[in-house]
């Protein structure tokens, strides 16, 4: 029982030693940070445009410090800040109505053939 208490006390002391913050000597003002966790670096595309080309990025274009795909983003369709109106989607950088557009019927790139038209987002409806 006594060794269990000693072990518990030792574990608590180790936890306390790990979590005690250290003073950063780099700056004039002391900054408190945990010595075992590195500072998180925030890369924004306005300063580092190549960050948008990293795998898993939302897109390769930078708009208002965010990576976007201007060919499909309804808030930045074709250029930064150009929003598509209600009911329209962004296809190839242009706002289109997928309910009636022959080249983007129902979704981007769904082209109706010459004999059919796009009605309610479907080719050859009826």
Region 5-20 average pLDDT: 69
**What is the C-alpha separation between 123 and 117, in angstroms, rounded?**
6
Residues 40-95 have pLDDT tens digits of 566 788 888 888 888 888 888 999 889 999 999 999 999 999 999 999 999 999 99
Region at 28 (left for phi over 0; alpha for psi -120 to 50; beta for the rest): alpha
Report pLDDT for 3: 73
Minimum mean pLDDT range among 19-33, 51-65, 86-100, 105-119: 19-33
Query: What's the pLDDT band for 19 if we cut at 50, 70, 90?
Result: low
Region 21-41 average pLDDT: 50
Report pLDDT for 98: 94
Average pLDDT of the residues of the chain: 80
Question: What is the model's pTM?
Answer: 0.59
* For the chain, domain boundaries: 85-126
**H or E element at residue 87:** none
List Cα–Cα distances, 48 to 3, 40, 54, 81, 110, in angstroms: 56, 16, 11, 20, 35
């Amino acid at each position: 029982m006594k060794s269990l208490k000693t072990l518990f006390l030792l574990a608590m002391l180790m936890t306390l030693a790990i979590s005690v913050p250290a003073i950063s000597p780099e700056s004039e003002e002391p900054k408190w940070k945990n010595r075992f966790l590195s500072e998180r670096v925030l890369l924004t595309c306005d300063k580092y445009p190549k960050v948008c080309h990293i795998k898993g990025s939302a897109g390769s274009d930078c708009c208002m410090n965010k990576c976007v795909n201007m060919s499909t983003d309804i808030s930045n369709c074709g250029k930064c800040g150009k929003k598509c109106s209600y009911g329209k989607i962004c296809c190839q950088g242009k706002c289109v109505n997928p309910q009636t557009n022959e080249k983007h019927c129902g979704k981007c790139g769904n082209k109706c053939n010459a004999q059919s038209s796009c009605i309610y987002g479907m080719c050859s409806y009826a």
